[in-house]
Chain A
C-alpha cells in the first residue's frame, strides 16, 4: 500500500470500524477460551471474522490483564504523545502515516554475550503473543486502559544473555528526519532515549509490544515495536524502537536531560510525588463520561504495587522520582 507522507487525512481504509474491533475483541476472548479448553492451536473461524484486515495478531489472554473496560480504540489511536510526529496529540495520527515499517531491525547490543540485530518479524515470532490489558497513566494526568499485544521483554533478554555488568537497559527510538516531521523542532534532543534498571526490564510486566486491540500497532502508537511499562508514566515506554543497549551506567533519558528537575530516571507512577506543574493525585480516564465526569484517584505504581513495589524496597521515591 502506498501512503503519501504528510497526508492531511487518514485514509478511510485505515480506520477500524467500531463493530470490527469490538467483534475482534470477542474473537480474542473466544480464542482464549478455546486455548483453555483444548490447548489446541488457536484458529479463528473466517466466517465469523467477516473481513478483518490481515494485520490481526494471534494472542492468548494474560493473567496480568485488568478487567477494567478498555478505552475506545478511537481515542487510543488519536490522542497520542509522539513528538517525532508533532507535539499536539492529534498530530501523530495524521503525520505518522508515512512511517515505513518494513524492513525494520532492532539492534540489541552492549553488555550482552550474544549481541544481534533482529528483524522485527523475527522478534514477532520469538515468543507467543499475549493480550495484556494494562492501565496507562500519562505524566500529564490522564489515563487509558489499553489491550496491548506482546510478550515480556525478559523473553528477549534471556536470549541475548546479559553480562554481569549489564545494570541498565537503554531503548532508542527511530530518529529519521525524512519520515518524522517533528524532528525539525527542538522540543527534545533526538533520538528519543529511555531506560530501565535491569531488574525493571526483566520484570514480567515489562512488555515488548507489537500490537493493540488485537492488531499490529498503528504507527502513531509506536509501530512496529515499542515498550510498555505499565507502572511508570507513559513517556518511559519508548516507541518505534531501533536499539536496545545493555549498559553499566544509568542511561541519560531524553526527558531527564531536557528538564532534570521535572523528570527523573525512575518516573514511577506515584500520587504522593507531584510534578512541579501539576498534581499527580488524580487522573482523568480518557473516554470515561463527558465533561461532568470526575477524575479518579491515581494509584501507587499505577495499581501495580503488589507486583513491583519490591523492586524499590528501601528507596526514597521522593528522591528517586
Chain B
C-alpha cells in the first residue's frame, strides 16, 4: 500500500474515530444511539458518492492512478453501511427478530434501507481481484447495481426526513448523485454520437 492509499485509509476511518472519541464524553448528546445511527448512515452515502466520483475525476483530470482508490472507497461505503445496519439491529432493536421483520414490512423507509444494504452486499463480496477475473464482463454488469443502491439510499434518507417535511439534506445528496449520473449519461450519449 502506498502512502497516498494509506492516507486515504486513515481518512476514511476518521468518522468512526470521531464517534469513539465522542462516546468517551457527553459528546453523543441526548440520544446517543440516534446520533451514531445518523452519522454512520450519512458517511455511508458520502463514501458511496465519493466512490462514484472516482471515474469522472479520473477522466476529467486524466490521472489514471485515481482508479486505484475506487475499491477502497467503495468498501468503506459498505463498512459504514454495515455499521449503520448493525446499530439498528443491535442497539436499536436488540435482535428482536419479530420487531425487525414487522419494521421491514410496515415501514417503507426501513424496507428501502434493507434493500439498499442487500444490493451493496454482493458488490462488496465481489470486490476482490479474483472475483473480478472470475466474473469477467459480468462483473461490470453486476456492479451497475451501485446506481440502484445510490437511488434507494437517497430515497431511504429522504423518506426518513419526510416526516419533518424537511428534505433539504437528502435533496443535497440526491443532487450530488444526479450530477454524477448526468456526467455519465453525457459521456454515454457522446460515445453513441461518435460511433454513428
Question: Which residues of A are at the interface with B, using a C-beta cutoff of 8 A?
Answer: 74-75, 78-79, 83, 87, 89-90, 140, 142, 185-188, 258-259, 262, 274, 276-279, 281, 284, 286-287, 290-292, 294-295
Contacts and interface: CB of A to CB of B under 8 A. Distances in A.
A187 B164 contact: yes
A274 B99 CA distance: 12
Contact of B159 (A83, A185, A277, A290): A277
4 interchain residue pairs of minimum CB distance? A79-B30, A75-B30, A87-B166, A291-B32
21 contacts: A74-B26, A83-B164, A87-B164, A140-B163, A187-B164, A188-B165, A258-B165, A274-B106, A276-B106, A276-B107, A277-B108, A277-B160, A279-B102, A284-B33, A287-B30, A290-B23, A290-B28, A291-B33, A294-B94, A295-B92, A295-B94
Contacts of B91: 291-292
B109 interface: yes
A91 B103 CA distance: 29
Nearest to A294: B94
B23 A291 contact: yes
Nearest to A83: B164
A187 B32 CA distance: 25
Contacts of A294: 94
A287 B29 CA distance: 9
Nearest to A81: B164
B166 A185 contact: yes
B190 interface: no
B29 A90 contact: yes
Contacts of A287: 30
Nearest to B19: A291
- The binding surface of chain B is classed by DSSP as helix
A262 B103 contact: no
A284 B31 CA distance: 8
Contact of B31 (A83, A274, A286, A292): A286
A151 to B, nearest CB: 28
A87 B166 CA distance: 8
Interface of B: 23, 26, 28-34, 36, 91-92, 94, 99, 102-103, 106-109, 159-160, 163-166
Contact of B28 (A258, A281, A291): A291
Residue from B31, B91, B103, B108 with most neighbouring chain A CB atoms (10 Å): B31
Contact of A290 (B32, B103, B165): B32
A188 B32 CA distance: 27
A305 to B, nearest CB: 23
A142 B166 contact: no
Contacts of B94: 294-295
A89 B92 CA distance: 19
B86 to A, nearest CB: 12
Given A142-B31, A287-B30, A294-B94, A277 B107 contact: yes
B30 A89 contact: yes
A118 to B, nearest CB: 33
A259 B166 CA distance: 13
Contacts of A286: 30-31
Nearest to A286: B30
B29 A79 contact: yes
Nearest to B165: A187
A295 to B, nearest CB: 8
B65 to A, nearest CB: 40
Contacts of A277: 107-109, 159-160, 163
A321 to B, nearest CB: 15
A90 B159 CA distance: 21
